[in-house]
Structure 1
C-alpha cells in the first residue's frame, strides 16, 4: 500500500469530524503546491513533504494536530499557529471540533514552508560544493 492509500484508510476510519477535518487539511496541502509528496511515517502519521518535511498530521481524541517541522522559522501573519511556542523549531496548529481554518492563510503557510525547505536545501548544496576531496572548505 502506498502512503496516499494509508492516509485514505486512516481518514476512512475516523468516521467523525476529525476525518473530515484531516481530509480538508490534506486537500489544502495538495492544492497549495502540486509537487508536495504524501508520506506515511512513524507507524501511522500522514506527512507532507517537498525538499524535506513540511508538516505531520495527527488525529487525537479531541483535536487534529498539524505540526510544521520548521514552524518557528516561518512567517505566520494570520496567527494560525496556536501550539508549540516553547520550542525553537516546530510549531503546531491544533484544530478542535467546530474550528474553521482559513484555507488561504494555510496555503500561504505551506508555501512558506516549501520555500524554507528549498532554501535550506540550496544552502546545503552550495556549502557542499565548496568542499575539497579532503573535506576542507576552499576559499570562494
Structure 2
C-alpha cells in the first residue's frame, strides 16, 4: 500500500482509524506476502482475525472473517454476501462509509472472537 497516494490511501487510513477507535488493542499485521503483492494484506486481529483490508484499482475491500455471523442493521456488507462465513464491504471513491455502523461491526466481531 506504500505506492498508493490517492483516495484509496486516505480511505484506508480512515478505515484503520475506525478499527482502532472500536478496539484500541487490535493488532495490525501484514500477511500473505507474494511477488504480486510484496506488502501483503493488512489484517486486524483481537482474540482471532477480525478483518482484512485490501486495495484494488477501483476500491478498497474490508473483509470480515466471521461476517456472516454479525448483525448488519445498517446494511454495510455489500460483497461476498453468498459466502458461508465471511462478508465484505467494498468501498469505492464516491461511497460514504457510516463510521458509527462500521465501528459497531468491528466491536461485534471482536466480541464474537472473545466468545
| Superposition TM-score, scaled by structure 2 size | 0.92
For the residues of structure 2 that align with 1:29 and 1:14, how far apart are their CA atoms? 20
1:95 pairs, out of 75, 91, 98, with 91
Partner of 1:28: 18
Specify every segment of 5 or more residues in structure 2 that has no aligned partner in the other structure, as ranges. 34-39
CA RMSD of aligned residues (A): 0.7
Structure with greater contact order relative to length (CA < 8 Å, sep ≥ 6): 2
Partner of 2:4: 14
**How far did residue 84 of structure 1 move?**
0.7
**How far did residue 49 of structure 1 move?**
0.5
**How far did residue 33 of structure 1 move?**
1.0
Specify every segment of 5 or more residues in structure 1 that has no aligned partner in the other structure, as ranges. 1-9, 120-140
For the residues of structure 1 that align with 2:107 and 2:94, how far apart are their CA atoms? 25
More helix by share: 1
Moved over 2 A (4+): none
